Protein backbone atom coordinates (compact mmCIF):
# COMPACT_ATOMS: atom_id res chain seq x y z
CA UNK A 1 0.00 0.00 0.00
CA UNK A 2 1.41 3.35 -1.03
CA UNK A 3 2.05 5.84 1.74
CA UNK A 4 1.55 9.58 1.89
CA UNK A 5 3.72 11.98 3.91
CA UNK A 6 2.02 14.92 5.57
CA UNK A 7 2.08 17.10 8.67
CA UNK A 8 -0.65 17.33 11.29
CA UNK A 9 -0.20 20.09 13.85
CA UNK A 10 3.46 20.33 12.87
CA UNK A 11 4.08 16.62 13.37
CA UNK A 12 5.39 14.53 10.48
CA UNK A 13 3.07 11.56 9.94
CA UNK A 14 2.49 8.91 7.33
CA UNK A 15 -0.86 7.71 6.08
CA UNK A 16 -2.09 5.19 3.58
CA UNK A 17 -3.02 6.59 0.21
CA UNK A 18 -6.77 7.05 0.08
CA UNK A 19 -7.17 7.62 3.80
CA UNK A 20 -9.00 10.71 4.98
CA UNK A 21 -7.50 13.33 7.25
CA UNK A 22 -9.66 11.99 10.08
CA UNK A 23 -8.38 8.43 9.61
CA UNK A 24 -4.78 9.61 9.43
CA UNK A 25 -5.18 11.75 12.54
CA UNK A 26 -6.76 8.95 14.58
CA UNK A 27 -4.09 6.50 13.47
CA UNK A 28 -1.53 8.89 14.94
CA UNK A 29 -3.35 9.56 18.21
CA UNK A 30 -4.71 12.97 17.21
CA UNK A 31 -8.31 13.66 18.23
CA UNK A 32 -10.68 15.41 15.85
CA UNK A 33 -14.29 15.61 17.11
CA UNK A 34 -17.09 14.26 14.93
CA UNK A 35 -20.87 13.97 15.04
CA UNK A 36 -22.24 12.59 11.77
CA UNK A 37 -19.26 10.27 11.16
CA UNK A 38 -19.70 6.55 11.82
CA UNK A 39 -16.79 4.34 10.80
CA UNK A 40 -17.53 2.14 7.77
CA UNK A 41 -21.11 3.46 7.63
CA UNK A 42 -21.37 7.27 7.38
CA UNK A 43 -18.90 9.96 6.39
CA UNK A 44 -20.96 12.69 4.77
CA UNK A 45 -19.35 15.70 6.42
CA UNK A 46 -22.87 17.06 6.89
CA UNK A 47 -22.46 18.21 10.49
CA UNK A 48 -19.27 20.24 9.84
CA UNK A 49 -17.96 19.38 13.30
CA UNK A 50 -14.71 17.77 12.11
CA UNK A 51 -13.53 20.95 10.36
CA UNK A 52 -9.77 21.37 10.01
CA UNK A 53 -7.53 23.97 8.43
CA UNK A 54 -5.21 23.00 5.58
CA UNK A 55 -2.28 25.29 4.81
CA UNK A 56 -3.07 27.65 1.92
CA UNK A 57 -6.65 26.38 1.84
CA UNK A 58 -9.36 28.87 1.03
CA UNK A 59 -11.91 27.24 3.33
CA UNK A 60 -12.04 24.86 6.26
CA UNK A 61 -12.41 21.23 5.20
CA UNK A 62 -14.28 18.32 6.76
CA UNK A 63 -11.69 15.83 7.97
CA UNK A 64 -13.96 12.82 7.48
CA UNK A 65 -14.34 13.36 3.72
CA UNK A 66 -11.06 15.01 2.67
CA UNK A 67 -8.36 12.59 1.47
CA UNK A 68 -4.77 13.09 2.51
CA UNK A 69 -2.26 14.36 -0.06
CA UNK A 70 1.51 14.32 -0.29
CA UNK A 71 3.01 17.31 1.52
CA UNK A 72 -0.32 18.40 3.01
CA UNK A 73 -0.12 20.44 6.23
CA UNK A 74 -3.14 20.10 8.49
CA UNK A 75 -4.04 22.09 11.59
CA UNK A 76 -6.72 20.53 13.77
CA UNK A 77 -6.63 23.03 16.63
CA UNK A 78 -5.92 26.36 14.94
CA UNK A 79 -8.02 29.34 15.98
CA UNK A 80 -9.80 29.21 12.65
CA UNK A 81 -10.61 25.47 12.94
CA UNK A 82 -11.82 25.73 16.53
CA UNK A 83 -13.99 28.74 15.72
CA UNK A 84 -15.48 26.93 12.72
CA UNK A 85 -16.32 23.84 14.78
CA UNK A 86 -17.83 25.87 17.58
CA UNK A 87 -19.94 27.79 15.10
CA UNK A 88 -21.20 24.50 13.59
CA UNK A 89 -22.22 23.16 17.01
CA UNK A 90 -23.90 26.45 17.95
CA UNK A 91 -25.96 26.31 14.76
CA UNK A 92 -26.99 22.72 15.54
CA UNK A 93 -27.96 23.74 19.06
CA UNK A 94 -30.12 26.56 17.75
CA UNK A 95 -32.68 24.00 16.55
CA UNK A 96 -32.22 21.46 19.34
CA UNK A 97 -34.44 20.60 22.31
CA UNK A 98 -32.23 21.52 25.25
CA UNK A 99 -34.13 19.68 27.99
CA UNK A 100 -30.98 17.73 28.76
CA UNK A 101 -31.79 16.93 32.39
CA UNK A 102 -34.87 14.90 31.45
CA UNK A 103 -33.28 13.22 28.43
CA UNK A 104 -32.31 9.52 28.58
CA UNK A 105 -29.01 10.38 26.93
CA UNK A 106 -28.04 12.95 29.54
CA UNK A 107 -24.32 12.49 30.33
CA UNK A 108 -23.99 10.07 27.42
CA UNK A 109 -24.81 12.42 24.57
CA UNK A 110 -22.29 13.20 21.86
CA UNK A 111 -23.72 16.69 21.28
CA UNK A 112 -23.54 17.44 24.99
CA UNK A 113 -19.92 16.29 25.01
CA UNK A 114 -19.11 18.51 22.02
CA UNK A 115 -20.61 21.52 23.76
CA UNK A 116 -18.39 20.84 26.75
CA UNK A 117 -15.26 20.31 24.66
CA UNK A 118 -15.80 23.41 22.51
CA UNK A 119 -16.98 25.69 25.30
CA UNK A 120 -20.50 26.28 24.00
CA UNK A 121 -22.07 28.07 26.95
CA UNK A 122 -24.85 30.22 25.55
CA UNK A 123 -27.59 30.18 22.94
CA UNK A 124 -25.85 32.21 20.28
CA UNK A 125 -28.52 31.71 17.63
CA UNK A 126 -32.09 32.03 18.87
CA UNK A 127 -35.16 31.69 16.70
CA UNK A 128 -37.96 29.44 15.53
CA UNK A 129 -37.59 25.66 15.84
CA UNK A 130 -38.58 23.10 13.23
CA UNK A 131 -41.99 21.61 14.08
CA UNK A 132 -41.18 18.37 15.89
CA UNK A 133 -42.66 14.89 15.68
CA UNK A 134 -42.96 12.71 18.77
CA UNK A 135 -43.85 9.09 18.10
CA UNK A 136 -43.99 6.26 20.63
CA UNK A 137 -46.63 3.92 19.19
CA UNK A 138 -44.24 1.06 18.39
CA UNK A 139 -43.41 -1.51 21.09
CA UNK A 140 -39.73 -0.65 21.26
CA UNK A 141 -38.63 2.65 19.69
CA UNK A 142 -39.46 6.27 20.53
CA UNK A 143 -38.72 9.04 18.00
CA UNK A 144 -38.42 12.66 19.08
CA UNK A 145 -37.32 14.88 16.19
CA UNK A 146 -36.93 17.89 18.50
CA UNK A 147 -33.61 16.31 19.53
CA UNK A 148 -32.55 15.19 16.05
CA UNK A 149 -29.37 16.79 14.63
CA UNK A 150 -29.91 15.49 11.06
CA UNK A 151 -26.59 13.63 11.16
CA UNK A 152 -27.98 10.79 9.04
CA UNK A 153 -26.37 8.03 11.10
CA UNK A 154 -29.68 6.24 11.69
CA UNK A 155 -30.55 6.47 7.98
CA UNK A 156 -27.28 4.92 6.83
CA UNK A 157 -27.31 2.30 9.59
CA UNK A 158 -30.76 1.08 8.55
CA UNK A 159 -29.79 1.06 4.88
CA UNK A 160 -26.22 -0.22 4.99
CA UNK A 161 -26.29 -2.51 8.04
CA UNK A 162 -29.80 -3.93 7.77
CA UNK A 163 -30.50 -3.36 4.10
CA UNK A 164 -33.94 -1.92 4.82
CA UNK A 165 -33.69 1.84 4.41
CA UNK A 166 -36.97 2.60 6.17
CA UNK A 167 -35.60 5.93 7.44
CA UNK A 168 -34.95 9.00 5.35
CA UNK A 169 -34.96 12.77 5.26
CA UNK A 170 -38.48 14.17 5.01
CA UNK A 171 -39.28 17.62 3.58
CA UNK A 172 -36.67 20.24 2.71
CA UNK A 173 -34.82 23.17 4.19
CA UNK A 174 -35.93 24.33 7.60
CA UNK A 175 -38.69 21.70 7.69
CA UNK A 176 -36.35 18.74 7.19
CA UNK A 177 -36.75 15.88 9.64
CA UNK A 178 -35.77 12.22 9.83
CA UNK A 179 -38.36 9.47 9.93
CA UNK A 180 -40.02 6.59 8.11
CA UNK A 181 -41.55 7.23 4.68
CA UNK A 182 -44.20 9.97 4.66
CA UNK A 183 -43.29 10.69 8.29
CA UNK A 184 -45.26 7.61 9.35
CA UNK A 185 -44.58 5.63 12.52
CA UNK A 186 -42.30 2.65 13.00
CA UNK A 187 -45.38 0.44 13.26
CA UNK A 188 -46.44 1.43 9.74
CA UNK A 189 -43.35 0.24 7.88
CA UNK A 190 -41.21 -2.90 7.72
CA UNK A 191 -39.10 -2.01 10.76
CA UNK A 192 -37.24 -4.86 12.49
CA UNK A 193 -37.25 -2.99 15.82
CA UNK A 194 -33.60 -4.10 16.06
CA UNK A 195 -32.57 -0.78 17.62
CA UNK A 196 -29.35 -0.38 15.64
CA UNK A 197 -30.58 3.12 14.77
CA UNK A 198 -30.96 3.79 18.51
CA UNK A 199 -27.44 2.77 19.54
CA UNK A 200 -25.98 4.72 16.62
CA UNK A 201 -27.97 7.91 17.27
CA UNK A 202 -25.59 10.43 18.89
CA UNK A 203 -28.35 12.16 20.85
CA UNK A 204 -31.77 11.32 22.29
CA UNK A 205 -33.75 11.53 19.06
CA UNK A 206 -34.17 7.75 19.02
CA UNK A 207 -34.48 5.82 22.27
CA UNK A 208 -35.97 2.60 23.59
CA UNK A 209 -39.52 2.62 24.92
CA UNK A 210 -39.15 2.41 28.67
CA UNK A 211 -40.99 -0.24 30.71
CA UNK A 212 -39.38 0.42 34.09
CA UNK A 213 -42.64 1.77 35.56
CA UNK A 214 -44.47 -1.50 34.83
CA UNK A 215 -41.73 -3.46 36.59
CA UNK A 216 -41.75 -1.14 39.61
CA UNK A 217 -45.54 -1.52 39.89
CA UNK A 218 -45.15 -5.31 39.89
CA UNK A 219 -42.36 -5.21 42.49
CA UNK A 220 -44.63 -3.20 44.76
CA UNK A 221 -47.64 -5.48 44.30
CA UNK A 222 -47.81 -7.85 47.32
CA UNK A 223 -49.91 -10.29 45.30
CA UNK A 224 -47.28 -10.74 42.59
CA UNK A 225 -44.34 -13.14 42.55
CA UNK A 226 -41.88 -11.23 40.38
CA UNK A 227 -39.22 -13.27 38.60
CA UNK A 228 -36.37 -11.76 36.60
CA UNK A 229 -34.16 -13.46 34.04
CA UNK A 230 -31.06 -12.00 32.40
CA UNK A 231 -29.82 -12.75 28.89
CA UNK A 232 -26.21 -13.89 28.45
CA UNK A 233 -25.04 -10.74 26.62
CA UNK A 234 -26.23 -8.42 29.41
CA UNK A 235 -23.41 -9.49 31.77
CA UNK A 236 -20.85 -8.28 29.22
CA UNK A 237 -22.33 -4.77 28.95
CA UNK A 238 -24.21 -3.81 32.13
CA UNK A 239 -21.01 -2.76 33.91
CA UNK A 240 -20.53 -0.02 31.32
CA UNK A 241 -23.64 1.69 32.74
CA UNK A 242 -21.64 2.13 35.97
CA UNK A 243 -18.36 3.26 34.40
CA UNK A 244 -16.67 -0.12 34.27
CA UNK A 245 -14.36 -1.03 31.34
CA UNK A 246 -16.02 -2.29 28.17
CA UNK A 247 -16.55 -6.03 28.26
CA UNK A 248 -16.28 -6.49 32.02
CA UNK A 249 -18.21 -9.59 33.08
CA UNK A 250 -20.53 -8.54 35.90
CA UNK A 251 -22.57 -11.73 36.37
CA UNK A 252 -22.18 -11.71 40.18
CA UNK A 253 -22.87 -8.01 40.69
CA UNK A 254 -25.85 -8.18 38.34
CA UNK A 255 -27.46 -11.01 40.29
CA UNK A 256 -26.81 -9.20 43.58
CA UNK A 257 -28.23 -5.90 42.30
CA UNK A 258 -31.42 -7.45 40.95
CA UNK A 259 -31.98 -9.34 44.19
CA UNK A 260 -31.51 -6.06 46.07
CA UNK A 261 -34.19 -4.50 43.83
CA UNK A 262 -36.68 -6.92 45.36
CA UNK A 263 -37.19 -9.59 42.72
CA UNK A 264 -38.48 -12.80 44.29
CA UNK A 265 -36.27 -14.95 42.06
CA UNK A 266 -33.23 -14.03 40.00
CA UNK A 267 -32.47 -16.49 37.21
CA UNK A 268 -30.28 -16.68 34.15
CA UNK A 269 -31.85 -16.99 30.70
CA UNK A 270 -29.03 -19.44 29.96
CA UNK A 271 -31.29 -22.16 31.36
CA UNK A 272 -33.73 -21.23 28.59
CA UNK A 273 -30.85 -21.24 26.10
CA UNK A 274 -29.95 -24.81 27.06
CA UNK A 275 -33.61 -25.74 26.71
CA UNK A 276 -33.74 -24.06 23.29
CA UNK A 277 -30.82 -26.18 22.10
CA UNK A 278 -32.61 -29.34 23.19
CA UNK A 279 -35.68 -28.40 21.15
CA UNK A 280 -33.93 -26.81 18.19
CA UNK A 281 -31.32 -29.57 17.99
CA UNK A 282 -34.03 -32.24 18.05
CA UNK A 283 -35.92 -30.38 15.34
CA UNK A 284 -32.80 -30.22 13.16
CA UNK A 285 -32.10 -33.93 13.56
CA UNK A 286 -35.72 -34.74 12.70
CA UNK A 287 -35.61 -32.60 9.57
CA UNK A 288 -32.39 -34.31 8.46
CA UNK A 289 -33.71 -37.83 9.09
CA UNK A 290 -37.25 -37.26 7.79
CA UNK A 291 -36.44 -35.16 4.76
CA UNK A 292 -37.81 -31.95 6.28
CA UNK A 293 -37.27 -28.40 5.02
CA UNK A 294 -33.56 -27.58 4.92
CA UNK A 295 -31.56 -25.57 5.56
CA UNK A 296 -33.11 -24.83 8.94
CA UNK A 297 -32.78 -21.27 10.21
CA UNK A 298 -32.39 -20.37 13.88
CA UNK A 299 -35.27 -18.38 15.37
CA UNK A 300 -33.81 -16.76 18.52
CA UNK A 301 -33.49 -13.22 17.17
CA UNK A 302 -36.86 -11.39 17.03
CA UNK A 303 -35.43 -8.69 14.78
CA UNK A 304 -34.42 -11.37 12.27
CA UNK A 305 -37.86 -12.95 12.61
CA UNK A 306 -39.57 -9.66 11.71
CA UNK A 307 -37.18 -9.25 8.78
CA UNK A 308 -37.96 -12.64 7.24
CA UNK A 309 -41.70 -12.14 7.77
CA UNK A 310 -41.48 -8.85 5.85
CA UNK A 311 -38.79 -9.53 3.27
CA UNK A 312 -38.69 -13.29 2.65
CA UNK A 313 -42.07 -14.74 3.71
CA UNK A 314 -41.65 -17.61 1.22
CA UNK A 315 -38.73 -18.86 3.33
CA UNK A 316 -40.71 -19.09 6.60
CA UNK A 317 -40.88 -22.93 6.42
CA UNK A 318 -37.10 -22.92 6.91
CA UNK A 319 -37.42 -21.28 10.35
CA UNK A 320 -37.10 -23.39 13.46
CA UNK A 321 -40.40 -23.33 15.32
CA UNK A 322 -38.57 -23.11 18.67
CA UNK A 323 -39.32 -20.02 20.72
CA UNK A 324 -36.41 -17.86 21.81
CA UNK A 325 -34.74 -18.73 25.17
CA UNK A 326 -36.40 -16.06 27.30
CA UNK A 327 -39.85 -16.95 25.94
CA UNK A 328 -39.25 -20.64 26.68
CA UNK A 329 -38.10 -19.67 30.15
CA UNK A 330 -41.26 -17.64 30.76
CA UNK A 331 -43.51 -20.44 29.49
CA UNK A 332 -41.85 -22.94 31.84
CA UNK A 333 -42.02 -20.54 34.80
CA UNK A 334 -45.78 -20.15 34.35
CA UNK A 335 -46.34 -23.89 34.04
CA UNK A 336 -43.73 -26.23 35.54
CA UNK A 337 -42.24 -23.77 38.07
CA UNK A 338 -45.68 -22.48 39.10
CA UNK A 339 -46.94 -26.03 39.62
CA UNK A 340 -43.92 -27.05 41.68
CA UNK A 341 -44.22 -23.94 43.87
CA UNK A 342 -48.01 -23.98 44.20
CA UNK A 343 -48.44 -20.49 42.70
CA UNK A 344 -51.23 -19.50 40.35
CA UNK A 345 -49.66 -18.40 37.01
CA UNK A 346 -51.84 -15.28 37.02
CA UNK A 347 -49.92 -14.12 40.10
CA UNK A 348 -46.49 -14.53 38.46
CA UNK A 349 -44.86 -11.59 36.70
CA UNK A 350 -41.85 -12.44 34.52
CA UNK A 351 -39.31 -9.74 33.64
CA UNK A 352 -36.61 -10.30 31.02
CA UNK A 353 -33.46 -8.17 31.02
CA UNK A 354 -32.35 -8.24 27.39
CA UNK A 355 -29.71 -6.69 25.14
CA UNK A 356 -32.43 -6.32 22.54
CA UNK A 357 -35.15 -3.76 21.81
CA UNK A 358 -36.98 -6.17 19.50
CA UNK A 359 -37.73 -8.41 22.50
CA UNK A 360 -40.29 -5.77 23.54
CA UNK A 361 -42.31 -6.55 20.42
CA UNK A 362 -41.69 -10.29 20.71
CA UNK A 363 -43.48 -10.62 24.04
CA UNK A 364 -46.72 -9.19 22.63
CA UNK A 365 -46.85 -11.48 19.60
CA UNK A 366 -50.12 -13.47 19.83
CA UNK A 367 -48.27 -16.57 18.58
CA UNK A 368 -46.01 -16.44 21.64
CA UNK A 369 -48.82 -16.62 24.16
CA UNK A 370 -49.21 -19.92 26.01
CA UNK A 371 -52.86 -20.53 26.79
CA UNK A 372 -54.34 -17.52 28.55
CA UNK A 373 -51.01 -16.19 29.80
CA UNK A 374 -48.24 -14.28 28.06
CA UNK A 375 -44.87 -15.98 28.53
CA UNK A 376 -43.06 -12.78 29.54
CA UNK A 377 -44.72 -9.71 31.02
CA UNK A 378 -42.05 -7.04 30.57
CA UNK A 379 -38.68 -6.53 28.91
CA UNK A 380 -36.00 -4.18 30.19
CA UNK A 381 -32.99 -3.38 28.03
CA UNK A 382 -29.51 -3.44 29.53
CA UNK A 383 -29.72 0.35 29.76
CA UNK A 384 -33.08 0.23 31.54
CA UNK A 385 -31.71 -2.33 33.98
CA UNK A 386 -28.90 0.07 34.83
CA UNK A 387 -31.42 2.87 35.41
CA UNK A 388 -33.56 0.65 37.63
CA UNK A 389 -30.58 -0.25 39.81
CA UNK A 390 -29.61 3.43 40.13
CA UNK A 391 -33.22 4.44 40.79
CA UNK A 392 -33.37 1.98 43.70
CA UNK A 393 -30.30 3.60 45.26
CA UNK A 394 -28.12 0.49 45.08
CA UNK A 395 -24.38 1.14 45.41
CA UNK A 396 -22.99 -0.83 42.49
CA UNK A 397 -19.36 -0.50 43.53
CA UNK A 398 -20.01 -1.92 46.98
CA UNK A 399 -22.00 -4.93 45.79
CA UNK A 400 -20.48 -8.31 46.56
CA UNK A 401 -20.93 -10.99 43.91
CA UNK A 402 -23.89 -13.30 44.34
CA UNK A 403 -25.15 -16.28 42.36
CA UNK A 404 -28.45 -16.85 40.63
CA UNK A 405 -31.23 -18.74 42.37
CA UNK A 406 -30.71 -22.45 41.84
CA UNK A 407 -34.11 -24.04 42.39
CA UNK A 408 -35.56 -25.93 39.40
CA UNK A 409 -34.27 -23.56 36.69
CA UNK A 410 -31.00 -22.21 38.02
CA UNK A 411 -28.44 -24.44 36.34
CA UNK A 412 -26.89 -23.55 33.00
CA UNK A 413 -23.98 -24.59 30.82
CA UNK A 414 -21.31 -22.69 28.94
CA UNK A 415 -23.25 -23.39 25.76
CA UNK A 416 -26.04 -21.17 27.08
CA UNK A 417 -23.61 -18.33 27.83
CA UNK A 418 -22.24 -18.07 24.28
CA UNK A 419 -25.73 -17.52 22.83
CA UNK A 420 -24.94 -13.81 23.19
CA UNK A 421 -22.25 -13.79 20.48
CA UNK A 422 -22.65 -14.33 16.76
CA UNK A 423 -22.04 -18.01 16.10
CA UNK A 424 -22.83 -18.92 19.69
CA UNK A 425 -26.20 -20.52 18.98
CA UNK A 426 -24.66 -22.58 16.17
CA UNK A 427 -21.76 -23.71 18.36
CA UNK A 428 -24.09 -24.58 21.24
CA UNK A 429 -26.32 -26.60 18.88
CA UNK A 430 -23.36 -28.42 17.33
CA UNK A 431 -22.07 -29.44 20.77
CA UNK A 432 -25.34 -31.13 21.66
CA UNK A 433 -26.11 -32.54 18.21
CA UNK A 434 -22.61 -34.01 17.86
CA UNK A 435 -22.66 -35.50 21.36
CA UNK A 436 -26.07 -37.03 20.73
CA UNK A 437 -25.20 -38.47 17.32
CA UNK A 438 -21.72 -39.63 18.29
CA UNK A 439 -23.18 -41.29 21.39
CA UNK A 440 -20.36 -40.21 23.67
CA UNK A 441 -19.17 -37.26 25.73
CA UNK A 442 -17.43 -34.66 23.60
CA UNK A 443 -13.70 -34.44 24.13
CA UNK A 444 -13.44 -31.16 22.24
CA UNK A 445 -16.36 -28.76 22.65
CA UNK A 446 -14.88 -25.69 21.00
CA UNK A 447 -16.02 -25.17 17.40
CA UNK A 448 -13.67 -22.34 16.46
CA UNK A 449 -15.07 -21.96 12.93
CA UNK A 450 -18.22 -20.54 14.52
CA UNK A 451 -16.36 -17.68 16.19
CA UNK A 452 -15.24 -14.24 15.13
CA UNK A 453 -16.77 -11.01 13.87
CA UNK A 454 -17.03 -11.76 10.16
CA UNK A 455 -20.48 -10.93 8.80
CA UNK A 456 -20.73 -14.41 7.29
CA UNK A 457 -18.93 -17.52 8.53
CA UNK A 458 -19.08 -20.91 6.81
CA UNK A 459 -17.82 -24.31 7.94
CA UNK A 460 -18.05 -28.04 7.48
CA UNK A 461 -18.50 -30.07 10.67
CA UNK A 462 -18.21 -33.82 11.12
CA UNK A 463 -21.22 -34.99 13.11
CA UNK A 464 -22.26 -38.62 13.56
CA UNK A 465 -20.15 -39.73 10.64
CA UNK A 466 -21.69 -37.13 8.34
CA UNK A 467 -20.36 -33.82 7.09
CA UNK A 468 -22.75 -30.96 7.81
CA UNK A 469 -22.29 -27.65 6.06
CA UNK A 470 -23.31 -24.72 8.22
CA UNK A 471 -23.34 -20.93 7.89
CA UNK A 472 -23.59 -18.03 10.32
CA UNK A 473 -24.61 -14.44 9.60
CA UNK A 474 -25.20 -11.36 11.69
CA UNK A 475 -26.93 -8.24 10.30
CA UNK A 476 -29.36 -8.44 7.44
CA UNK A 477 -26.99 -7.19 4.74
CA UNK A 478 -24.71 -10.10 5.62
CA UNK A 479 -27.63 -12.54 5.67
CA UNK A 480 -29.18 -11.52 2.34
CA UNK A 481 -26.83 -13.49 0.04
CA UNK A 482 -27.49 -16.62 2.11
CA UNK A 483 -31.24 -16.04 1.90
CA UNK A 484 -31.12 -15.42 -1.84
CA UNK A 485 -29.25 -18.71 -2.32
CA UNK A 486 -31.90 -20.57 -0.31
CA UNK A 487 -34.64 -18.84 -2.29
CA UNK A 488 -32.98 -19.94 -5.54
CA UNK A 489 -32.62 -23.52 -4.30
CA UNK A 490 -28.83 -23.27 -4.43
CA UNK A 491 -27.90 -23.34 -0.74
CA UNK A 492 -25.49 -26.13 0.28
CA UNK A 493 -26.15 -25.69 3.99
CA UNK A 494 -28.07 -27.79 6.48
CA UNK A 495 -28.25 -25.26 9.32
CA UNK A 496 -27.94 -21.45 9.23
CA UNK A 497 -27.71 -19.19 12.24
CA UNK A 498 -28.90 -15.63 11.64
CA UNK A 499 -28.76 -12.80 14.16
CA UNK A 500 -30.33 -9.41 13.55
CA UNK A 501 -27.51 -7.28 14.94
CA UNK A 502 -23.88 -7.16 13.76
CA UNK A 503 -21.90 -9.31 16.18
CA UNK A 504 -25.05 -10.79 17.69
CA UNK A 505 -26.66 -9.87 21.01
CA UNK A 506 -23.44 -8.38 22.42
CA UNK A 507 -24.15 -5.50 20.04
CA UNK A 508 -27.93 -5.51 20.45
CA UNK A 509 -29.99 -2.35 20.26
CA UNK A 510 -30.62 -2.44 24.01
CA UNK A 511 -26.97 -2.63 25.08
CA UNK A 512 -24.96 0.17 26.66
CA UNK A 513 -24.35 2.96 24.17
CA UNK A 514 -20.73 3.69 23.35
CA UNK A 515 -20.05 7.10 21.75
CA UNK A 516 -18.78 6.81 18.16
CA UNK A 517 -15.40 8.31 19.05
CA UNK A 518 -14.81 5.57 21.62
CA UNK A 519 -16.14 2.81 19.37
CA UNK A 520 -13.64 3.59 16.67
CA UNK A 521 -10.81 5.23 18.55
CA UNK A 522 -8.05 3.90 20.75
CA UNK A 523 -10.11 3.89 23.97
CA UNK A 524 -12.92 1.67 22.75
CA UNK A 525 -11.38 -0.22 19.86
CA UNK A 526 -12.91 -3.65 19.43
CA UNK A 527 -15.81 -3.14 21.83
CA UNK A 528 -17.74 -6.03 20.30
CA UNK A 529 -14.73 -8.32 20.60
CA UNK A 530 -14.28 -7.32 24.26
CA UNK A 531 -17.89 -8.18 25.07
CA UNK A 532 -17.60 -11.41 23.11
CA UNK A 533 -14.46 -12.40 25.01
CA UNK A 534 -16.32 -12.01 28.33
CA UNK A 535 -18.82 -14.65 27.21
CA UNK A 536 -16.28 -17.14 25.91
CA UNK A 537 -14.19 -16.72 29.06
CA UNK A 538 -17.21 -17.62 31.19
CA UNK A 539 -17.97 -20.56 28.91
CA UNK A 540 -14.46 -21.96 29.44
CA UNK A 541 -14.82 -21.62 33.21
CA UNK A 542 -18.08 -23.59 33.38
CA UNK A 543 -18.06 -27.19 34.70
CA UNK A 544 -20.68 -28.11 32.07
CA UNK A 545 -20.40 -26.82 28.51
CA UNK A 546 -22.92 -28.90 26.55
CA UNK A 547 -26.63 -28.08 26.86
CA UNK A 548 -27.82 -31.69 27.03
CA UNK A 549 -25.67 -32.16 30.17
CA UNK A 550 -27.78 -29.65 32.14
CA UNK A 551 -29.24 -31.82 34.92
CA UNK A 552 -32.16 -29.47 35.63
CA UNK A 553 -33.14 -29.48 31.96
CA UNK A 554 -32.97 -33.28 32.06
CA UNK A 555 -35.20 -33.26 35.16
CA UNK A 556 -37.66 -30.90 33.46
CA UNK A 557 -38.12 -33.40 30.64
CA UNK A 558 -38.37 -36.30 33.06
CA UNK A 559 -40.93 -34.65 35.34
CA UNK A 560 -42.94 -32.51 32.96
CA UNK A 561 -42.19 -32.36 29.24
CA UNK A 562 -41.49 -36.00 28.49
CA UNK A 563 -38.87 -35.59 25.77
CA UNK A 564 -37.67 -32.94 23.32
CA UNK A 565 -40.26 -32.38 20.63
CA UNK A 566 -43.06 -34.00 22.67
CA UNK A 567 -46.64 -32.79 22.45
CA UNK A 568 -46.20 -30.90 25.73
CA UNK A 569 -42.96 -29.36 24.53
CA UNK A 570 -44.60 -28.30 21.27
CA UNK A 571 -47.41 -26.64 23.19
CA UNK A 572 -45.15 -24.65 25.51
CA UNK A 573 -41.86 -24.17 23.68
CA UNK A 574 -42.74 -23.79 20.01
CA UNK A 575 -44.55 -21.17 17.96
CA UNK A 576 -45.37 -20.20 14.39
CA UNK A 577 -44.70 -17.25 12.10
CA UNK A 578 -46.64 -15.63 9.28
CA UNK A 579 -46.00 -13.23 6.37
CA UNK A 580 -46.33 -9.52 7.09
CA UNK A 581 -47.14 -6.64 4.73
CA UNK A 582 -44.01 -4.70 3.88
CA UNK A 583 -45.65 -1.29 4.01
CA UNK A 584 -48.91 -0.07 5.49
CA UNK A 585 -48.47 3.62 4.83
CA UNK A 586 -51.57 4.45 2.79
The set of catalytic residues is 280, 283, 300, 320, 359, 362, 367, 505
Distance of alpha carbon 575 from alpha carbon 368, whole angstroms: 6
Distance of alpha carbon 469 from alpha carbon 450, whole angstroms: 12
Closest CA to 559 of 574, 571, 569, 570: 569
Separation in Å, CA 3 to CA 18, 39, 65, 93, 424: 9, 21, 18, 39, 39
Q: How many CB atoms lie within 10 A of CB 390?
A: 14
Q: Cβ(110)–Cβ(74) under 8 Å?
A: no
Helix (H, G, I), strand (E, B) or coil at 457: strand
User: Residue 140: left if φ>0, alpha if ψ -120 to 50, beta else—which one?
Assistant: alpha
Q: How many CB atoms lie within 10 A of CB 276?
A: 30
Closest CA to 295 of 136, 488, 70, 523: 488
Q: What is the 3-state secondary structure (H, E, C) of 143-164?
A: EEHHHCCCCCHHHHHHHHHCCC
Determine phi and psi for 74, rounding to 5 degrees: -115, 140
Distance of alpha carbon 253 from alpha carbon 264, whole angstroms: 17
Distance of alpha carbon 553 from alpha carbon 78, whole angstroms: 64
Q: Cβ(129)–Cβ(137) under 8 Å?
A: no
Find the angle CA(459)-CA(460)-CA(463) to the nearest 5 degrees. 130
Amino acid sequence: MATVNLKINGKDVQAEAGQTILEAARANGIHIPTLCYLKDITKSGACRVCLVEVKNGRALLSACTTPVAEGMEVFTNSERALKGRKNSVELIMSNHNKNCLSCKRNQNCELQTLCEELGVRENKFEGEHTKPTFEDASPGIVRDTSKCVLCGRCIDTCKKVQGLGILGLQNRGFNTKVGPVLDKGFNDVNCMQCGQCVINCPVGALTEKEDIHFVIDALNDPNKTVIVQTAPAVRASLGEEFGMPIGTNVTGKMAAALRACGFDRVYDTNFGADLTIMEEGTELLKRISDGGTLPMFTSCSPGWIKFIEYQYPELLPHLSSAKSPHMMFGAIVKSYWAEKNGIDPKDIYVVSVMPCIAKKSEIIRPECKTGEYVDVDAVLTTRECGRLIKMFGIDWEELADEGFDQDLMGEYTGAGVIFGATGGVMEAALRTVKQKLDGKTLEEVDFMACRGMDGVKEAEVEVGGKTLKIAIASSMTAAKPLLEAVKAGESPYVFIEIMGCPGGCINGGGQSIIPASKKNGKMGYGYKELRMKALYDEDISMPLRVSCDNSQVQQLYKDFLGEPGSEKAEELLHTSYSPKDKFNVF
